[in-house]
Every structure is written in structure tokens, then in C-alpha cells.
Structure 1
Amino acid sequence: MASKDKARKGKIDTKIKDRPAIIHSYKLRIRWALGISAVLILLFLAFFDRFLFPIAYPKLGEPAPQTIRAPYDFYFDEKAAFEKATKEEMENFIPIFIQDQRSQRDLIERVKSLIEATKQIQSDKSLSERRKLERLKQVFSLKRTTEGIRKLLKYGQLEELGEILISEVITPIVSKGIITDKDLLSKEELRIRSPDSDDTGFKKVPAREIYTLSQAKGLFRNRMEKLLFNLDPEITDLLTSTIQQYISPNLRYSEENAKEMKKLSEKTSNRLVFYRRGDILLRSGSPVSRVDIFRLEACNKQKVLPYWVSALGTFLPLLILTFLFIIYLSHFHTYTFSYTQNYVFIFLTLLILIVIAKIITLFTSFSGYILPVSMVGILITSIMNRRIALITTLLAALYITYLTNFQLALFVFYVISGTLGIWVGMRAHKRGNLFLYSLLLGVGNVVVFLCCQAMGDTFDYKANKIILFQGSAEAFFNGVLAWFMILLITPFFEKVFGMASTYRLLELSDLNGPLLKKLQEKAPGTYYHSIEVGNLAAAAADAIGANSLLVRVAGYYHDIGKMIRPNYFVENLGGGENPHNSLSLAMSSHILRSHVKEGIEIAKEYTLPQRIIDLIFQHHGTSVMGFFYHKARDNGLEEVLSEDFFRYDGPKPVSVEAGLLLIADAVEAASRSLKNPTYIKTEEMVKEVVKEKFADGQFDECQITGKEINKVINTLTNSLMSYSHLRIEYPKAAEKVKATNANAGVREEVKQAL
């Protein structure tokens, strides 16, 4: 039984020992899974529309229902396409005819006049019947009197007859259109336009509905016989033969036909065009021409490799670059990316950008210059730091260039625009400032766009002014779109990941916040020490271009762990007895060391951002507690309690901001021991502190340069001198009385002398 318990205990101990390795392996798998997922999502977004939204041929002459982009690189023989399109358009050319409304009105007026003249002759009682026949014969232009004339003279319903002739017989024929030559009806359709309509007022009419002159006259006779079947045949024949002479063509061949035929013959091109993947083949809403159809056909015909082969060919290079990106973050930003959520944040930012880019390219006709890669630079700089933002921007530029096309000019634009975004993230610390800087970013994007266009030797600036204007507008709007997306997604990352954006830091910098008020109440000395540390660190950060707002806020909160045991820290003693005098050195060092861990627990309780927690964790690095170490050495305990025993647990600062906070904390504490501080004394003290930390290796992982350290030393020296400026020493009350009595004695002596 005892052996079983021992074996079980051994397994538990083994699991406990292996737990860090298991956790590390788990985090490592998550990192690689995130990288693989990012590449797979990128490939899916790059290719899925080719399966779900294949290229569909829009209808000729109608507006394109959507923007169509090239799914791969291909060549298009524009010369052959224009020749073929011109030939087809010539064959399918629909002639234009002008409808002569006056001819139709004249015909109706002549028929009305004919009926009216017949009625007047009938009603004229002054004329004899013989005279009436003569007059009616003249009206109908007949040489002899016919039976039809005699019968028409006696017909009593001439007015009704005239209405039927105009509305039921003549108008239906003439309104269709009458043409002179049958050869002009060789096309299936005609375009008819009235003279008073605009240039676009064409009406397409099937050729079968248009009559030649002989067809119109024949149809007129047929309709007369069918509609007026109860009328005397002699009268019908008289009216038909007379009105047929009035019918004339009312459609004439337009001179515009020759102009349009000439335009068609002039459409030509001698180019062999190379389209890259992502280039626009047809814009949404633009009329579809035959050349557009031929362009889409050429695209489909030149498809050689299946999509899955293209996807597989790009999967491995993108995966390798993504893995190198992860390795870089793991090795050069070890502490920051020891948290899995930071990887999630990075790749989620990239995913949001990729989705935005795909939506814009799939459903709009904008070019790639509107895609807000600078959003990545702004967001990651404001939440992490500029070094991480730079390498992430490079990966984002590569991703988006692949998603659109592999143009070098576009990749250069994305890289420079993303770098400008990093600059905006470093400078813009308020929402209003962010918008103004985004406008400057837009202006910078326009300049970069124009430079990218200048990279092409064959670009014709005079002939492509519209392209330049549109591209410049898109590049400028790129900055505004990045600003909008930052405002939209920043609250999400703050809530979900506890990230520290600029706006969150501004809230935490309020000295009336609940945690700082609590610090002031419980540990007032620590509170004022923290405020000064924050100010010193912010001044140093401004001097070297680091995130001054972040380091200021971190300075305010870096010692909140001292609220647990405030009286064990010298700044809170107020001249009272030091409790460490009754404690062992081991216990004293443990109390000092524990304020870091307790500060982290308090920070998590108050949901401070992870970046602030990181700086609290690193603000001492692995520095030695000098006072207790020297005390141990003076007491001969150096062999028992080594220097490492008195070190803080760390880690060492892994960012410039953490290094500045470490320096500011140490310098502010050391400055309190200076007596009669002068500039030289203060500068020597700051140099000594920095030299000690540098020699101790505290800056090995934070990538702060020697040039930056010199600027920090000068800035801290000037700041400390401004804090400890000399004041005029006013005389004390007793000295004032003594001086007054002395002055009175002098005045009395003067009086006596006078």
C-alpha cells in the first residue's frame, strides 16, 4: 500500500515538474495554430469568390451588375478584340430613322379637307345637281363623273365616315411608320426618333412592323374594305383611290447613321494588355460593350492551373513568412508575447484588415490604394509599441498585396502608408488629434501614391488624369477610413483583451481615479513618489520619442502594491521608527520584493490594462535591493545571503518604456538623499544610477540605445533641477524684531547727533 502511494506521489511530482513545459508547449501550439489559421483564412478569402461568385457574362449593352476583377494574371489581345467587336457591331448596326410627324399631320388634314369640301358641296343649295357633280369631280381630281361621285353626293353620313377613316384606317397605318425602300428593312430592328426628341430618345421598333409605301397603300385598301363593308363599293373605291395618292413615307434615313458607322470604324487598338490578379475588368454600373465580353472570355480561356494548385503554391511561402513573424515576436519580444492573448490580438487585427480588404475589392470598384493597411500601424503602436507595429505592418502589407495583386508599387505604398500609421499612433493621444493626424496621413498617402505612379515608365499622365485624380482621392480617404476603423474596433480590444489604448490611458491618468485616491489615502508618501516618477519617466520618453503617456500612467501605478504594508517603505514613515530594524534581512527583502506581486494583484482587481501590469512587473527588473545587501555584507552575511538573494524577481525591462520607468524610479528615490543639490551633483547622481543599472544588465532586453540613454540623463537632470529649485529665505520673526530694535537705535543716535 505504501509503495502504491509512493508511486502515485511520484507521478504527481513528475506532473508538477513537467507542468511549465506542458504550458509552454500548449502556448507554442496555439501560436502555430494562429499562424496557420491566418494563412488559411487569407487563402480562403483570396479564392472563395471564384467558387461562390464565378465570372458571369453580363448582358451586352446593359449596366454591369457588379465589379469583376481578374482572378489571375492573363494577357488580352485588345487589337483583335476591337477588330472583332467592330465587325460584329457593323453587322448588328441598327439604323436610325427620323419620324416625320408633319407628313402624318398633312395626310390627316387632306382627308379632313376632302370630307369637309364634300359636305359643303352637298349643303350648297345655290348649286344645281349638275354643278355639284362638277365641283365634286374637281375635288377628287377626276376627269369624268363616275358612279361613285354621284353616290357620294347623296351620302348623308360624311362626318361619321371621316372620323372612321382617320381614327380606324389611316392612323393605325401611318403611326407604325412608312418607309420608301424595302432594302432599308434588311435589319430586324430599326431605331426611330422624332425630330423634337433629344439624342438619346430612340425607340426600337421591329422591322416587321414598318411598312413600305406599297405595303401601306395595300393595307389601306384592305382596311377600307373590311371596316367599311356596309358602305357602297363605288364610294369605297372612290375614297380609297383618292386617299392612296395622299399617303407618303414618314420615315427618312438619318444622317447620324454615317457618323455612327464612322465612329465604329475608328474604334481600334494595337495593345496587348497584361492584366494582373485583382485588376478591374468591368466596373459596376458601366455599360457592357462587346470588348468587355471578349475581355471576360479571354480571361476564362487562359485559365491554365486549377485554383487549388494556385492556392497550394502560395500556401507554403506565406506560411513560412508567417512562422518567421511568430519566431521574431517570440525571440525579440519574449515577455510581451509570453501572453497568448497578444498573439490573438495581432492576428485578429490582421484578420479584420483582410476581411475589410476583401469586402472592398469584392463589392466595390475601388482600387487597392483605399485599403487601410495604416490601421494596423496605428492600432498596434497605440496598444503595444512601434517595433511590433513595424514588423506587423510589413506582414499586413504582404497579405493585402497578395489579396489584391503582386504589384511592387502597391506593396511599397502599403509599407510606407503603414509606417506613416505608426507615426500617427505615436503622436495622436486624443480622439480629436487622431482625426487631424489621419488627415495628414491621407495627404502623405497621396504623395506616396503619386510617387508609386511615377515608378511606371509607361504611365501617360496627360491621358490618365482621371485615374490620377481618382487614385489620389482613394489614397487620401485611406487615412480617414483607418481613423474610422480605429474608433470602431479599439473599444472591442479594450473590453475583450484588456488592452491599453491611448484613450484608456487618458482615463487612467486622472489623479481623481478611485485607485489613485486610495493610494493617496493609504500611502501618501508613495503616492507623491509615484506622481514624480510618472512625470520624470514621461519627460524622458518625450525626449527619445517613446510612449510618454503609457510610461506616465505606469509611473502613477507602479507602486500600488505598497498599499498593503505602507509603513514598511521609507517614504511613508514620516520620521517614525523604521519597522525593518526589528526584522531580519530575509524578511525585509521579502516584504520589499512582494510589493511588485501585490501590485499586480491589485492591478488585475481594478482591471488595469495588461501593458500597465507588464510595466509594474518590470519596473525593478532584477535589480539588487542595495540597502539590505550592503547591510548583509557589513554584517558578514555575504556568504549566507548572496547578492542574488536580494534581487527582485524580475523580469528585466523588455520595452523602452519599462527601462525608462526603472530609471525614473531609481533616480527619484536617489534624488531624495541629495543635500544642497546643484546641477553637477544631480547630473552625477543620475549618471551613477544609470551606469549601475546598465552594468547590472537591466537594459539587455529593452533595446534602448546609448544615444537615447544620454538624452534621458540630460532630461532627468533638468527635470530634477526644476523640481528642487531654490526659494528666497525669508527672515524669522525673532530676527525681524532684532532688526527693528537695531534700526530704532540707529535712528535715536542720528537724532542726538543732529
Structure 2
Amino acid sequence: MPWQRLKGLLYPLLARLGPELSKTRIFWGIILFMAAVAVLALDYMPQKLDLKVGQPSPRDFKAPQGIVYESEVLTQKAREEAAAQVAPVYRVDNTVAAALTGRLDEIFREIKTVSGSAGDVGAKAALLKEKLNQINFSPASLQALAGADPTTVDTLREVTKNIVNRIMGEAVPQDALDAARDKMLAAVEEAAIEDKFKPAVAAIIRGLELKPNLIYDVAATMQKKEKAAAEVSPVQVTIRQNEKIVSDGELVTAEDIEALQKLGLLRSGASWGGLMGLVLYQAILVTLMLLYLRFFKREVYNNNRLLLLLGLLWLIFLIFARGVAAISLGGGTEITRLVAYLMPVAAGSMLVAILLDAGVAVVFTVFLALEAGIISGIYYQFVAVGVISGLVGIYCVSHLSQRSDLARSSLFLMLAGLIGVVALELMLRHTLFQMGIAAVLALANGLLSTVLTLGFLPFLENSFGITTAVKLLELSNPNHPLLKRLLLEAPGTYHHSILVANLAEAAADAVGADSLLARVGAYYHDIGKLKRPYFFIENQVTAENPHDRLAPTLSTLIISCHVKDGLEMAREYRLPQVIQDIIAQHHGATLMSYFYHKARENSREDSVNENDFRYEGPIPQTREAAIVMLADSVEAGIRSLPRPTPGRMEGFVRKIIKEKLEDGQLEASDLTFKDLSLIAEAFMRVLNGIFHNRVEYPEAVLKEMERRKNRNGVLHKQSAG
């Protein structure tokens, strides 16, 4: 089977690009590639000719841009005119003269035979008349010829042949036969022969059947015409922008059809060369994208889901661009073509930046803009606007910190598109009317791109299991059901989570981690405490601690279960996997030292296993999870400090970080020693803002402040009255 052979050749070749390539990945890659080519190739497919020569034009056609091309129609017309001006080529046919001289030899042979025979002249004359009856001899001429001796007959023959050869040796066309015969007769009168023989020779010449010897040379004439046509240089046609090609109702000529085809306003057949070029061009872009991902974005290149997402976004926005290009604005081709400014390249760029990576989005923007330019008719202004709007969109969504950022991005997109379009239209010297339409389309593009981004984002997030900044912002809303339950059912834990979130966000900013993920993860890290809130000290409103009546092992089980309970609740409320990971890892395999030491005090030391008093883990696998762990430990422990001065707090913070490091809880988080130092400094900035020293006012100052407050209140009432 051909397909089996193709797979046999293709898979080993592609496998050399990297061990990550699987048959499934190759299969979907080929499907997406073919679909993208099909979308782009619509301009190269056969289409019915809209106009025919001699048909009235249905509307005005103007050139959307200037163009210079070699006109095949005008060149062919000029060559035909040059060939038509070539004079026909004739040649002299020497066989005509040869045939005449042969006939003369026959005539004079008969004359010589008769004149040389025995008998009287009268009998010979009668015999000559009988044998040469086709010649109208006079009786005197017959008598003269019958009495001529052989030498005289030979002389007459040579003279006659010379006259015929001389006259017929020249070009004698059909219409010059009578003139040629007259020349021969005149030559006879001047010939050096006896006068009595001249009428006889003249009669012989009159009896000859003359034929033209000038023949039309077809081959030579065609060769001359071809040479004249080949010497004609190709006709260059220059069409200026906005120049009218054909008016409404005007009869269309072949030159008009050709001009419209050159301008891309009319197509009449499949461009197989263009189609092959398009396939090659698309292959180059896909290869460059894959190479970029393989060498610079391995996390995307090695993830089949993310690669499929990138390919689908590419295809989706190619389809959108094709749909926009099909919109007709009316008002002529040059106005309709401006609709390409509406192609929502920025929407694809923002989605890639939000769902994947800003660097990938930049490359994606350039490639998508290039292909949008192809769809729009290979005009660079649409490519330029696509790149500008796409890069601005990436910038707008690269650091989302609140939900209004997405709405605000539409304003930046509209402004950037407007400035870019106006600049390009000025360079292209378009009319104010065209510039106005282009500006409106640019503004609409900014709004459309934002709407498409907001519309596609939830669907793509859920379909591909990606947690974006927008999703995290939604989860950070205090009205989320879990956060509301935490506030009402475990207010101490809620307050603790808010403080942990502040610490985690500051630390993540300091080390370049995802501060939004750290903040939202901190909001939900202790939701498992909702199952048994009063077993946790921050939710206990009385001095009685239920753990005082429980065995340390049971207390350990209750406390450690809040991680498992939190995961169950996170799955129930469909929290993203990254948040579930922080919930599962925010304690790692930390030792619950209070209950461990309490158990050792209540029993023999050697009978207590330390592992029984540790959380089940796993230890933090990301920087964000490790930061939440450190922030949780610092916030919980800082409460135990009797006098939280800056020096004591800093020592405590660094002690907590050192203990986690030595306990092996940070080994999988990729945090460096420098990162840990920056985290400690960030924690201190937040803690100093919470536990700063307050000024203690003297009693006299307080009384004076109260007196002034009362006085101001009285004055305010008087002025109001």
C-alpha cells in the first residue's frame, strides 16, 4: 500500500529529530499541517472566471496597488502586427524556362526535319503546317522555314531560346506574362536574323504557353515572420494605484482580463506552482516553530497536549483570518481589501501567551501574521499590523494580576492598531476615506481580539487542563464557595491563609516565581481544616484545647488528615491540579514536633517512631509549593514569639528556613541558597508591616485630641445648620 510505504519512510526520518516524536504526534501533526494548507490554499484552487472578453463589466475595477508586469496579451498582439507587416517571400522557378526551351527544341527539330527533307518548298510548307498546326504561321513564314537550310534553323533555334531564357530568367509573376511575351517579341525584332524569319519566330513565341516563374515561398515567408515577431520586446504595462482598469458596463477586453488577473482581482485556474510554494512555505514555518520549541521550550515540545493546543490555535485563527478575508465591504476592491485589518491575530497571540508561554507567543505571532498576509493577498501592511497588535496583546496579558487587565488590554490593542494602521496608510498614500475605514477596522480588531480571547479561554482551559492567570484570578475571588466557607466556618484559618498568601506572594516576586499561583495556592492550602476546624488552634475561641485529652498519635492523625481532606474537597470543587499539588505538598514530610515530643514524654523514647509523626508528603516539587510551605510555617510559628521585634522575627524566619532545608523538605523545589535568602528578606518586609511598633500617646495628648475632635464636631454642626 502507498500509505504504508510512506509511513515506513516518514517515521524513521522524523524519529531522527528526537526521541520525543511518537506516531501519534506525527499523525496529528500531519493532520493539522494538511488542514492549515487547505485553508491557505483556497486562493490557489480553480475558480470560475468572472469576466469574459466582450462581456460588459459588472462594476468598476480599480487597482488596489501599483504593479508593473509583462503583458502577454499586448506582447502577442505586437508580435502579430510585426509579422503581418512582413512582405511575402517569392522565388524564381527555373523549371519554367527549362520547360519552354525544351518545347522550342521540339518545334525547331520538326522544322529542321521537314526543311531538310526532299521535295519542293510548297510541299514542305504544307507538311510544316500540318505538323505544327498549334502555331499560327503565316504562309510566308511557312515558305521561309521550309526553304531554310539546317544551319539557319539551328541559328533561329538558338536565338529564340536565348530570348526566352533571358526574359524568363527574370521574375515573372502571373500578371506579368503578357508583358514578358511582348518583351520576347520586341527582342525578336531586334535579333540578328533575316527579316523573313522574324515573323516565323514571333509566331513560335506567340504559340508558347507561358507560365509565371515567381512562386510564393511559404517556408521563407514564415521564417521571416517568426524572426520579425521574435525581435519584438515584451510589452511592459505599468498600472498605478487606484487606476481604473475597466468601468461598469464597459466591454471587457483581453488586456483588461490580464490586468485583473495580475492584480489578483480575477483568477481563472489552479496555480500548481503557487500551491507547491505554499506547501513549502508552510513546512518551513512549522519546522522553525518545532525547532524553536525543541531547543528553547522543552516543556512545551515534550508535552503532546500543549503541542496539540498550539497547532489547534494556529488552525483556528487561520480559519478566522480566512473568514474575515471573505467579508465584502462594498465600494470597490480597494475598500474590500481593507477588511484584512480585522484579522484577529492578537487573539491567538494572547491565548498562546496565557495558556503556554510569552516567548512561544512571540514566535506564534510572527508566523500567524505572515500567513494572515498571504490570505489577504500578500500585502505587507496586514502582516505589519498583525505583528504589532499581537505583540501588544502579549505584553498586556504577560503579567495578569487582576481581572480588569484583560478588559484593559482591548484599549491598548485598539490604540496600537489605530496608530499602526494610520502610519501604514500614510506611507501607502491612501485616501482619507480609505484611512478612515482602516482606522475603524483597527479599533474593531482590538475589541474583537479581546472578546475572542475571553470566549475561547475557559473552553481551552477546561479541555486541556491548563491553569491560567485568569483562572487563578477567578479562584482568588473571596466569593468563591470554599473561601466563603473558610471565612464562616474556620475564620482563624481564613485569616491565617490570607497572611500566608501575603508572605508567599512577596517571596515569589522576590525569586521570580509565579506570585499569583503562590498567593492563590496559599488561599486554599488549608481548606481541609473545614472538616474539623476546632482541632486547629487558630480556630479555638476558648482556652480549652481538645488535643489535651487525646493521645499524641490520634492528634497527629487528626492534624495530618487535613491535607487529605483538603485534596478531597479540592477535587469536589474542581480546583486546578496546580492548586491540588500545593495542598498536597505544603507540609511535605515535615515532623509534627509538638506531638512527637509529647509522645516521647509519655512513653519510652525508644518506643516512639519519628516517621509516625510526619506528614505523608510528598515534599514540594515546585518553587511555589515550597514557598507556601515556608510561609505557612513562618506565619504559624511567629505567633509564638512573646515580643516579635524585627531582630527576633528575622532570627526565627531564618531558623525555620534552615530547619526545612536540613530536613530535606526543599530538595525537589529547585530553590537555591540565594533564593532562600531573598525569601527570608521578603518575609521580613511583610512581617515588619504586620508587627511594627505602635506609638504610645501620653494621656494628656489623648485628652487634647478628644477635645479638638469634639470642637470640630460642633463647628461642623453649626456650619451645616
TM-score for the superposition, normalised by structure 2 = 0.53
What's the offset of the Cα at 1:528? 2.0
**Counterpart of 1:421?**
393
329, 344, 354: which is aligned to 1:372? Answer: 344
Partner of 1:675: 642
- What do you get for the CA RMSD once the two structures are aligned? 5.7
Which protein is bigger by CA-based radius of gyration? 2
Distance 1:637 1:415 in 2: 70
Say if 2:498 and 2:522, in contact at 8 Å, map to a contact too: yes
**Correspondent of 1:388 among 338, 345, 357:** 357
Q: In 2, Cα distance between the equivalents of 1:389 and 1:367?
A: 28
Match of 1:444 among 416, 438, 451: 416
1:180-228 Cα shifts (integer Å, max 9, x gaps) = xxxxxxxxxxxxxxxxxxxxxxxxxxxxxxxxxxxxxxxxxxxxxxxxx
Q: State the percentage of identical aligned residues.
A: 27
- SS of equivalent residue, structure 1 residue 78: strand
- Cα offset, 1:705, TM superposition: 8.7
For residues 368 and 301 of structure 2, what CA distance do their matches in structure 1 show? Answer: 22
1-side partners of 2:672 and 2:430: how far apart?
Answer: 48
Q: Which of the residues 568, 578, 593 maps onto 1:627?
A: 593
Unpaired runs of 5+ residues, structure 2, are 1-18, 79-234, 329-336, 700-721
Q: Greater CA deviation, 370-379 or 571-580?
A: 571-580
- What's 2:199 paired with? none
1:42 corresponds in structure 2 to 36
Task: Within 5 Å, give how 1:489-508 maps onto structure 2.
Answer: 489-493=456-460, 505=472, 507-508=474-475
Map Cα deviations across residues 295-349 of structure 1 (whole Å, 9 max, x no partner): 4599879945373685367447625734863897663798xx6xx7666655544
Provide Cα deviations, 1:437-458, integer angstroms capped at 9, x if missing partner: 322233334556788x6xxxxx
Q: 1:379 to 1:76 in 2, by over 3 A?
A: closer
Aligned to 2:633: 666
Paired residue type of 1:56: L
Q: How many residues align?
A: 498
Deviation at 1:470, TM superposition (A): 6.4
Maintained 8 Å contact 1:426/1:547: no
Distance 2:384 2:676 in 1: 33
What is the alpha-carbon distance in structure 1 between the residues aligned to residue 437 and residue 539 of structure 2?
65
Retained in 1: the 8 A contact 2:650–2:684? yes
Does structure 1 retain, via aligned residues, the 8 Å contact 2:261–2:267? no
Which residue of structure 2 lines up, in the alignment, with residue 292 of structure 1? 260
Paired amino acid for 1:439: L
Q: Structure 1 residue 54 and structure 2 residue 18: aligned?
A: no
Aligned to 1:78: 69
Deviations 1:3-40 (A, max 9, x none): xxxxxxxxxxxxxxxxxxxxxx9997766555444333
SS at match of 1:56: coil
Q: Which residue of 1 aligns with 2:370?
A: 401
For 2:504, what is the secondary structure of its paired residue? helix
* Preserved contact between residue 341 and residue 382 of structure 2 (Cα < 8 Å): yes
**Change over 3 Å in CA distance of 1:722–1:362 after alignment to 2:** same
**Contact 2:620 2:669 (8 Å CA) reproduced:** no
Matched letter for residue 634 of structure 2: V
Q: Deviations over 1:154-175 (max 9, x none)?
A: xxxxxxxxxxxxxxxxxxxxxx
After superposition, what is the alpha-carbon deviation per residue over 1:400-435, rounded to whole angstroms, capped at 9, x for unaligned? 524543889877765554343233224566665533
Give the superposition deviation at 1:658.
Answer: 4.6
For 2:600 and 2:60, locate their aligned partners in 1 and report how far apart those are by CA, in whole Å.
84
TM-score (norm 1): 0.51
For residues 249 and 468 of structure 2, what CA distance do their matches in structure 1 show?
44
Pick from 355, 358, 370 the counterpart of residue 319 of structure 2.
355
- 1:527 is the counterpart of 2:494: yes
SS in 1 for 2:427: coil
Q: Residue 593 of structure 2 contacts residue 613 of structure 2 at CA under 8 Å; is this kept in 1?
A: no
- Judged with a 3 Å threshold, the aligned counterparts in structure 2 of structure 1 residues 531 and 430 are, in CA distance, closer, same or farther, namely closer
Could you tell me whether the CA contact under 8 Å between 1:531 and 1:555 is conserved in 2? yes
How far did 1:461 drift? 3.0
User: 1: CA distance between counterparts of 2:503 and 2:240?
Assistant: 65
| Matched residue SS, 2:618 | coil
Provide the residue aligned with 1:434 in structure 2: 406
Distance of 1:78 and 1:482 partners within structure 2: 38
CA distance in structure 1 between the aligned counterparts of 2:272 and 2:353, rounded to whole angstroms:
43
Matched, 1:516 2:516: no
> 1-side partners of 2:266 and 2:284: how far apart?
29
1:582 aligns with 2:551: yes
Query: 5+ residue gaps in structure 1?
Result: 1-24, 88-266, 274-280, 454-458, 733-754
Cα 1:315–1:651 shift into 2, 3 Å: farther
CA contact (8 A) 1:378 1:425 kept: yes
**Greater shift in the superposed pair: 301-310 or 59-68:** 59-68
Relative to structure 1, the CA distance from residue 314 to residue 692 in structure 2 (aligned partners, 3 Å threshold; closer, same or farther) is farther
Question: Where does residue 653 of structure 1 map in the other structure?
Answer: 622
CA deviation digits over 1:254-304, x for unaligned, max 9?
Answer: xxxxxxxxxxxxx9955899xxxxxxx999x99995521454599879945
Confirm or deny: 8 A CA contact 1:629 1:643 kept in the other structure. Answer: no
**CA deviation profile, 1:477-532 (whole Å, cap 9, x unmatched):** 43222112123333434665676666655554443543223334554432221122
715 and 55 in structure 1: CA distance in 2 versus 1, 3 angstrom threshold? farther
Aligned-residue offset at 1:602: 0.8
**1:461 corresponds to which residue?**
427
Q: Conserved in 1, the CA contact under 8 Å of 2:417 and 2:442?
A: yes
Query: What is the aligned partner in structure 1 of residue 563 from structure 2?
Result: 596
* Aligned ranges 1:47-446 → 2 under 5 Å: 47-48=41-42, 50-51=44-45, 54=47, 56-58=49-51, 62=57, 77-78=68-69, 80=71, 270=238, 290=257, 291-296=259-264, 303=271, 305=273, 307=275, 310-311=278-279, 314-315=282-283, 318=286, 321-322=289-290, 325=293, 331=299, 345-363=309-327, 365-366=337-338, 370-382=342-354, 384=355, 388-402=357-371, 404-405=373-374, 414=386, 417-426=389-398, 433-445=405-417
Letter of the 2:286 counterpart: L
